[in-house]
Amino acid sequence: MHPALQGLLTIILGVGGCVGYFYFSNQFLDKVLFPAKGPNAGKNINRANVIRPWLFLFPALAALGLYLAYPVVETLRMSMMERVPGGEQRFVGLDNYRQMASEPKFWEAIKNNIMWLLIVPALSTAFGLLAAQLSDRVRWGNIAKSLIFMPMAISFVGAAVIWKLVYDTRPVEQDQIGVLNAMYLFFGGSEPNTWLTMPFWNNLFLMIVLVWIQTGFAMVILSAALRGIPEETVEAAVIDGANPFQIFFKIKVPQIKGTIVVVWTTITIVVLKVFDIVFAMTNGQWETQVLANYMYDKLFRANDWGVGSAGAMIIMLLVTPILIWNVYNARQEMN
Amino acid sequence: MDSIVGKKSSLTWAVHISLLILVLLWVFPTAGLLVSSFRTSDQIATSGWWKSFAPSVQNQTLRAAPSNEQKEIDGKFVIEGNLFESGKAAQISAWGVSSREIDVFKPGDIGELRKGGQVTVQANGDYRIEHTEAFTGKRGSRIFITGTQDPEFTMDNYRSVLFDPNNAEGMAKAFFNTLTVTIPATVIPILVAAFAAYALAWMNFPGRALLIACVVGLLVVPLQLALIPLLRFHNDIGIGKGYLGVWMAHTGFGLPLAIYLLRNYMVGLPKDIIENARVDGATEFQIFTKIILPLSFPALASFAIFQFLWTWNDLLVALVFLIDSSGETTVMTKQIVELLGTRGGNWEILATSAFVSIAVPLIVFFAMQRYLVRGLLAGSVK
């Protein structure tokens, strides 16, 4: 069957199935199981209303459980197993973790991930804050925001191509077609550099791609927060003779601290999962490995599910504090 | 702000200029790829894209007309014509007839051909070759020119990437595959999530708070953990790698955000409407379809855009759950990564392919930016 047709059929089946499920399960509950008539009408309505939420929730809960909750447990289990010839698995305790800890590539990934975690959220938030503050003060601010926000719509792979062109290198006797080398030579550099193969620095060049994408997100959220600041506080500061920088750093930033933390943690999670950019631009060569790509390597290139799962658990471990913090905040807010 | 400060200071200018620099920095890389996708491979390889708007100096090797176009005039054999194909004219500053001396003559000079005969070339490309004997040979003489060419852009790259019947780069097929992945993967989670969100927002039952907390927690679970367990699950139930698997995976991974966004929005809907409807005897199902769904349109649109962008731009989920060894079901992101590896130097193909894949999300982005912003503001956990 043609995939497009199959897709159309799936939409119809999926949507129809969902609507059908919700409609008929409700009908069944109200008309057959607990009809709202006869001697037990009142009791039946109450019973039906106890069950109904679960009818509404069931498909979502099933999907969440199967596609997100179960894998966490299963990956934890697999990270302590080893495949033996014949398709069987054997419990090996923490051996996979031990083996992982003995690999220099793993420590390289950890080291790079820490760098990513420090630099990308910081730069994205800083640039986002700057863009938000500046664009709120000029008339063409909305156009500026649109343009800075635009990379959000571009795929990591697309961004990788865009930035590969920026970092492109030609032999010294030819014209440079990459902007970075052209500028480098223009400002007195002697020889074009192959930016993506310079250990340590190439990590920064990869991070710039993510900063470029995430700044728009930070800007949008922070801009809304800046607008929510009560006018009076700013006015009072102006009357007291504060200069614009003082107003920004001493009056505005402290008031949006909460939002800055939210932006920071959200970008942190994106960073922890960063895969496509490294995969497409260097594939972890030249000391640019990161955890997500290391894990992918183990799972699908080396076919080592045990160590791969252990790598995935490390990512999960790093996400967990943020997860707990988010849940805690959400509960506070509901109360 | 200006009215509060009371006077326009030099700071206002600083603000304009720094914002302009910031915007230019952010647009410049994308502009480079867009411009490059309209240039020929020669142009891309020999000069930076930022030079493409200025006239460029190029060396070209062109050919005079073949010998069967010669005419006999006053006892001499003559071949005349213009070196340039129509629309590719350049201003010639120097020319030559041998590859070792490509710029010895100025326009209007007379040069000797190695095979015998004289040749002159004018600045606009007109040439005239004369000889006392008839010309032989199938191909015309080579003439080397150095000329300034006006900026030139072409649609050829798009034609070859999208409409070439051989479809060497496979982008046309990948485009449809991406579309096939994206649309069901966007539509289905919306519906599933909307019902769940309604239950979590407006129905009372034990464990509701706990479930909401779970959804918030699942928001950040990295999907990397799900790869192997779910691939094995898909293999066990017999769907293996394919569209069905990728649709299910995207649905599962998209649900936490969908439920979270929609619940937050639905909770804010006016309580009176819902309670009035209940008093009037509407069933929960009716309340949901007739009142909640239409009122939640902005939130539904926000999530739809997120999910669309995310599934369209995704690489990892497609790699793991969709693309098998036959490569028939490859998506655009995967195809571009492949091109980066195999055709890393062919920037005209890469740039064009990348832009084909970027164009759709960009259109969606600019058309529906309002909903996207609203969704972002509601979706970031406060």
Q: Assign residue B275 the CATH number of its domain.
A: 1.10.3720.10
- For domain A102-334, the CATH class is mainly alpha
For residue B128, count CB atoms less than 10 angstroms from its CB and return exposed for 0-12, middle for 13-18, buried for 19 or more: middle
What residues does each domain of chain A span? 3-78, 102-334
Specify the CATH number for the domain of residue B106. Answer: 2.40.30
Q: What pLDDT was estimated at residue B86?
A: 62
Q: Which of B184, B212, B350 lies closest to A330 in CB terms? A: B212
**Residue B64 and residue B121 in one domain:** yes
**Residue B267 and residue B292 in one domain:** yes
Residues of B in contact with A128 (CB under 8 A): none
Interface contact B19-A135, CB threshold 8 A: yes
Q: How far apart are CA B308 and CA B306, in angstroms?
A: 5
Of A229-233, B133-137, B351-355, minimum mean pLDDT range: B133-137
CA–chain centroid gap for A102, Å, is 29
Residue B154 lies in a domain: no
Confidence of residue B3 (pLDDT cuts 50, 70, 90): very low
> What is the residue-averaged pLDDT of chain B?
81
Interface contact A3-B351, CB threshold 8 A: no
Interface contact B213-A50, CB threshold 8 A: no
Residue of A nearest to B354 (CA): A158
Count of Cβ atoms closer than 10 Å to residue A288 Cβ: 24
Q: How far apart are CA A283 and CA B268, in angstroms?
A: 45
**Residue B169 and residue B20 in one domain:** no
Of A204-213, B16-25, B218-227, minimum mean pLDDT range: B218-227
Q: What pLDDT was estimated at residue B227?
A: 85
Give the closest-approach CA distance of A200 to chain B in angstroms.
Answer: 22
Residues of A in contact with B243 (CB under 8 A): 3, 6-7, 10
Percentage above 70 pLDDT, chain B: 93
B31 touching A (Cβ < 8 Å): no
Interface contact A272-B222, CB threshold 8 A: yes
Residue B346 lies in a domain: yes
**Residue B172 and residue B123 in one domain:** no
Task: Please name the helix (run of DSSP H) or strand (run of DSSP E) that holds residue B153, with its range, or none.
Answer: none
- Rg over alpha carbons for chain A, rounded to the nearest Å, is 27
Q: Which of B12, B196, B316 lies closest to A276 in CB terms? A: B316
Phi, psi at B82, each rounded to 5°: -120, 140
Q: What pLDDT was estimated at residue B40?
A: 78
Model confidence at B123: pLDDT above 90 = no
Residues 285-344 of B with CB under 8 A from A: 285, 288, 309, 312-316, 319-320, 329, 333, 336-337, 340
Model confidence at B381: pLDDT above 60 = no
The whole domain housing B199 covers: 160-379
Interface contact A56-B199, CB threshold 8 A: yes
If one compares B10 and B353, the residue with the highest pLDDT of the two is B353
Residue B348 lies in a domain: yes
Show the 3-state SS of A186-228.
HCCCCCCCCHHHCCCHHHHHHHHHHHHHHHHHHHHHHHHHHHC
Residues 227-246 of A with CB under 8 A from B: 234-235, 238, 244
Q: Which two tokens stand for residue A130?
A: 């700057």
Digit-coded pLDDT (tens) for B50-93: 777 777 677 777 777 777 777 887 778 888 888 776 656 677 87
Residue of A nearest to B337 (CA): A280
- Let me know: does B38 contact B153? Beta carbons within 8 Å: yes
Q: How far apart are CA A288 and CA A206, in angstroms?
A: 8
Total domain count, chain B: 3
Per-residue pLDDT of chain A (335 residues; tens, 9 = 90+): 566 677 677 778 877 888 888 888 888 887 777 776 777 777 777 777 788 888 888 888 998 888 888 888 888 888 888 777 766 777 777 888 888 888 888 888 888 888 888 899 999 999 999 998 888 888 888 888 889 888 988 888 889 889 988 888 877 777 778 888 888 888 877 778 788 788 888 888 889 999 999 998 899 888 888 888 888 888 888 888 888 888 888 888 888 888 888 888 888 888 888 888 888 888 777 878 888 888 888 888 877 888 888 888 888 888 888 888 888 888 887 77
Residue B155 lies in a domain: no
Count of Cβ atoms closer than 10 Å to residue B12 Cβ: 15
Q: Which two tokens stand for residue A332?
A: 């506070």
Q: What pLDDT was estimated at residue B273?
A: 86
Count of Cβ atoms closer than 10 Å to residue A167 Cβ: 21
**Residue B267 and residue B336 in one domain:** yes
If one compares B204 and B56, the residue with the highest pLDDT of the two is B204
Model confidence at B4: pLDDT above 60 = no
Q: Dihedral of the CA atoms A31, A32, A35, A38 (nearest 10)?
A: 120
Residues of B in contact with A1 (CB under 8 A): none
ipTM topping 0.95? no
Q: How far apart are CA A290 and CA A272, in angstroms?
A: 9
**Residue B243 and residue B368 in one domain:** yes
DSSP states of B304-330: HHHHHHHHHH--HHHHHHT--TT-TT-
**Residue B86 and residue B164 in one domain:** no
